[in-house]
Amino acid sequence: MTETKSYGTVLIKAKQILDYLMDQPAGQTLKEISDGLQSTKSTTLKVLATMCELNLLWRSENDKRYFLGSELIGYGQKALSEFDIKNIAVPYLQELRDETGETVHLGIHAGDFVVFLEKLESPRSVNLKSKVGGKLNLFSSAMGKAFLATMPDEQVTAYLERVALTALTTHTITDPSELQKQINQVRERHYSIDDRENEEEVFCVGAVLEKHNRVFGAFSVSTPDYRLDSKRKKAITAAVLKTKEMIERHL
């Protein structure tokens, strides 16, 4: 994707303030905001005052702390009603498909499954079973494990108690403790794998798409196992992580 040059330093500063307040558990003082953004108090105060006039922020008169304003509620509701992860993700996933030469999937979490939203075929495709609208188990797929890794431990435990880990191939993980170990690994390294667990001889690398503690979807690269060696596996993993970063930057 071609990057356009940003214009308007005040607008950029306002966005930084919104991002900073979004990540804080409570309202912040002028000093806390200026320190957090490594900006001067005078510059920060001018931007804060303007944002308060526009109801993008409000300030408590008791303790002089700044909070996100009511004007943002309407914007947020409108954005959610029009939001489609495909519109943002697919251009980057097309680049990922072209870079790796492999099939790329985009999916969402629905109940105990992953549902395919998009499938971008490899120019040297093999006969994968996946199709748009189809489902995958969470426990046996790269995207599914990426979704599981975003859940609190109690939700993962409930899932493992509720769902039978039925073998789909000779490589499917059917031991809950082993699956939990993989979920913990995904949390540490920010990508997941399906090592021939959903389809024989198909290896997948996946990652979740999230921002501000909200999960929007997940994607994966699928490749025949016979095309894979350690060097290629590292290259695909690096491409997945790079794509994850680029998409999340634009969410």
Domain co-membership, 46 together with 101: no
Report the chain's terminal Cα–Cα distance, integer Å.
14
The answer as to whether 57 is a domain residue is yes
- Counted domains in the chain: 2
Minimal CA–CA distance to 209: which of 183, 191, 188, 189?
Answer: 191
Q: Tell me how far apart the alpha carbons of residues 156 and 180 are, in angstroms, rounded to a whole number.
A: 8
CB 213 within 8 A of CB 151: no
Domain co-membership, 91 together with 71: no
Q: Which pair of structure tokens corresponds to residue 98?
A: 């072209």
- The pLDDT, as a whole number, for residue 3 is 52
Q: Which pair of structure tokens corresponds to residue 230?
A: 């350690």
The answer as to whether 1 is a domain residue is no
The answer as to whether 2 is a domain residue is no
Domain co-membership, 76 together with 130: no
CATH number at residue 99: 3.30.450.40
Q: What is the pTM of this model?
A: 0.73
Domain co-membership, 112 together with 219: yes
DSSP 155-196: HHHHHHHHS----SSTT----HHHHHHHHHHHHHHS-EEEES
Q: Which of 40, 62, 80 is the endpoint of a domain?
A: 80
Q: Which long-range contacts (CB under 8 A, 24 or more apart) does 114-121 make?
A: 114/138, 114/141, 114/143, 114/144, 114/147, 114/218, 117/85, 117/86, 117/217, 118/86, 118/89, 118/90, 118/93, 120/90, 120/93, 120/94, 121/97
- The pLDDT, as a whole number, for residue 239 is 97
The answer as to whether 226 is a domain residue is yes
Give me the residues paired with residue 68 across strands.
Answer: 57
What does the pLDDT profile of the chain (251 residues) look like in tens digits? Answer: 545 555 668 899 999 999 899 888 899 999 999 999 999 999 999 999 999 999 999 999 889 999 999 888 888 777 666 668 899 999 999 999 999 999 999 999 998 999 999 999 988 766 677 788 889 999 999 999 999 999 999 999 999 999 999 999 999 999 999 999 999 999 999 999 999 999 999 999 999 999 888 899 999 999 999 888 999 999 999 999 999 999 999 88
Domain co-membership, 54 together with 131: no
Q: Tell me how far apart the alpha carbons of residues 205 and 237 are, in angstroms, rounded to a whole number.
A: 6
Q: Tell me how far apart the alpha carbons of residues 118 and 177 are, in angstroms, rounded to a whole number.
A: 31
Question: By residue range, what is the domain housing residue 138?
Answer: 83-249
User: If residue 35 lies in a helix (H) or strand (E), which one and from where to where?
Assistant: helix 30-37
Q: Which of 64, 80, 96 is the endpoint of a domain?
A: 80
Residues 6+ apart with CB under 8 A from 80: none
CATH number at residue 76: 1.10.10.10
Residue type, 70: S
Domain co-membership, 106 together with 191: yes
The answer as to whether 140 is a domain residue is yes
Domain co-membership, 146 together with 157: yes
The answer as to whether 3 is a domain residue is no
Domain co-membership, 157 together with 169: yes
Q: Tell me how far apart the alpha carbons of residues 140 and 195 are, in angstroms, rounded to a whole number.
A: 9
- The pLDDT, as a whole number, for residue 44 is 94
